[in-house]
Amino acid sequence: MKRVKRQQGSVLKWALAALALLVIVTISLLWYARENPLAVYEKATRSALAKAGLELKSFDSSAGQLAYWEAGNGQALVLVHGVGDQAGAFQGIVESLLPDYRVLVPDLAGHGDSEPVEGPLPMTLVYGGLEELLSSVGGDGPMILVGHSMGAWLATIHAHRHPQAVARAVLINGGGLVGDRPDLSLTPVDREAARKLMTSLRDPASPPTPDFVLDDIVEQSAKGPIGRMTSELDDLIAHLLEGRLGEVTVPVDLLWGASDQLMTLAYAERMAAQLPRSRITTITGCGHHPANECPEKLADRLGEVLRTEPPPPVVDDSVETTDEAGNEDAQ
């Protein structure tokens, strides 16, 4: 009997020790997530890409080793993320694209798992790495470019420089013109500046950004890719397409989160007025980053856009706008 009691006591001790360890690990993980929410978000979204069936690959470019994800068959469709983000930004929409396309999702130079990991990050280097990657792994036929924010800018540059390689471009809340909100900084210096920025990026009905996330945004935006790119401001400005959008012969769809107050619908209309072949499609209830804020809406609208014929050349200088109900207006 005493032996049985000793064994039961030993088992209880081990169970209590295992429970204590589990509690410690859980608290540690929660602490890490609270202290590093952006790193946790990045890891989770990249895991989602792998779960969706995409394979992580690497490419040796003049910018360094670039990481990119790939899956599917058919015409190449390239998803290009924005500044300070990474390939996982599109984890909510990739599965909707895989049945019809060979999907490529690169980490831009200096972002995600791509080199360089430190130092200045000029736009010349970022675009140069993407240009080399697309030239090498983009396939034989013309590809579809889908870019978000700065990724939309890069997609426009590539369509301008290599029109024969691009069948069409879809620009999500971004492009190559000067912005309309000089009062907003992508490198906020404190929590309140970060709150102002994030409020402008999201639909008013979306949950507010928690303070601990705002604090991480302040820290990471300064030392991460955003700060590294804005430190090379002259090079960044040199890649603007002011006065040159009329030279873009590739058909362009502007797919816009209508609640975006950083790059507003008026910005999209400025772009469309200059692009020879363009069309605006709005997504209500979404801000600057539809792939993060409302991925299901974005997947639906992007699918609709890709299933329609590309926008024809504009003859009368009007801009065709389509809302979610499918109504068209002349702007």
Query: What gap in Å lies between CA 212 and CA 124, rounded to an integer?
Result: 34
Q: Indicate if the pLDDT at residue 1 is higher than 70.
A: no
Is 28 a member of any domain? no
Count structural domains, the chain.
1
| 25-47 per-position pLDDT tens digit | 333 333 346 678 999 999 999 99
Is 325 a member of any domain? yes
Average of per-residue pLDDT across 249-258 = 98
Strand ranges (E), the chain: 55-61, 64-71, 76-80, 102-106, 143-148, 166-172, 252-257, 278-283, 320-322, 328-330
* 278 token code pair: 């363009």
Out of 7-16, 189-198, 240-249, pick the least confident: 7-16
pLDDT at 28: 37
Is 25 a member of any domain? no
Q: Indicate if the pLDDT at residue 256 is higher than 60.
A: yes
Q: What angle do CA 161, 226, 79 make, to 5 degrees?
A: 45
Query: What gap in Å lies between CA 114 and CA 148, rounded to an integer?
Result: 18
Q: What is the largest CA-CA distance in the chain?
A: 96
State the burial class of residue 147 (Cβ atoms within 10 Å of its Cβ: 0-12, 13-18, 19+).
buried
| 274-299 per-position pLDDT tens digit | 999 999 999 999 999 999 999 999 99
The answer to whether 105 and 87 are in contact (CB under 8 A) is yes
Q: CATH number of the domain that 246 lies in? A: 3.40.50.1820
Phi, psi (deg, nearest 5) at residue 328: -115, 140
Using a pLDDT cut of 90, give the percent of the chain over it. 82
pLDDT at 326: 52
Q: Indicate if the pLDDT at residue 23 is higher than 50.
A: no
pLDDT at 312: 86
Residue 49 DSSP SS3: helix
Domain range for 201 is: 54-330
